[in-house]
Structure 1
Amino acid sequence: MTKKKGVKQGLTKNTLVLVSVFFMLFAVFITLLYYRQVADVQAFIKLQNQQRNTLLLVAPSPKAVAPLKSR
């Protein structure tokens, strides 16, 4: 009787270890996905800022346009 009980406890220990390892791997996977998404968002914001800066460089300033409108 005691041997069967020991085997059953060993099986439950193994399942607990497997479940905990699975959840740890899952947490690492989710964390990596989150950081990849954050990096993508940061790259997108940087790209938007670069595009806005180039538009500001290309577009004429309002002071330069004002004398033309007053004519």
Structure 2
Amino acid sequence: MSSTPLAALMAEWDRCRWIWNESCAKSKQTHLSNKHRLEGIEKRTCGPAQLDKRWPAKQPTPRSARRRRL
């Protein structure tokens, strides 16, 4: 694999890994909050819909931007 596609692949992998790590951290935080909540306080949720709202819109990759121009 040439260096340009490899660099793009590694950058995408880093973004995915960062989102995964942040999602796991938020899930653990929510779980601990629910575990130690006072009686009468609603449980928090942390599902895909809530996590999806946290992250900014995906930036177009050079390849997808090129496809839109065609």
Bin for the TM-score computed over the shorter chain: 0.5 to 0.7
Distance of 2:17 and 2:10 partners within structure 1: 10
Counterpart for residue 60 of structure 1: 38
How much has 1:62 moved relative to structure 2? Answer: 2.0
Q: Percent identity?
A: 2
Counterpart for residue 26 of structure 1: 4
Counterpart for residue 12 of structure 1: none
RMSD: 1.9
Write out aligned runs for 1:6-25 (5 A): 24-25=2-3
Which residue identity is paired with 1:26? T
Q: Which protein has the bigger helix share?
A: 1
Counterpart for residue 24 of structure 2: 46
- Unaligned 5+ segments in structure 2 are 42-70
Which residue identity is paired with 1:28? L
Aligned length: 41
Q: Does 2:27 match 1:35? A: no
Structure ranking higher on relative contact order (CA contacts 8 Å, 6+ apart): 2
- Runs of 4 or more off by more than 4 Å in structure 1? none
What SS class does the counterpart of residue 38 from structure 2 fall into?
A: coil
Larger Rg: 1
TM-score of the two chains, using structure 2 as the length reference: 0.52
TM-score of the two chains, using structure 1 as the length reference: 0.52
- Unaligned 5+ segments in structure 1 are 1-20, 64-71
Which residue identity is paired with 1:47? A
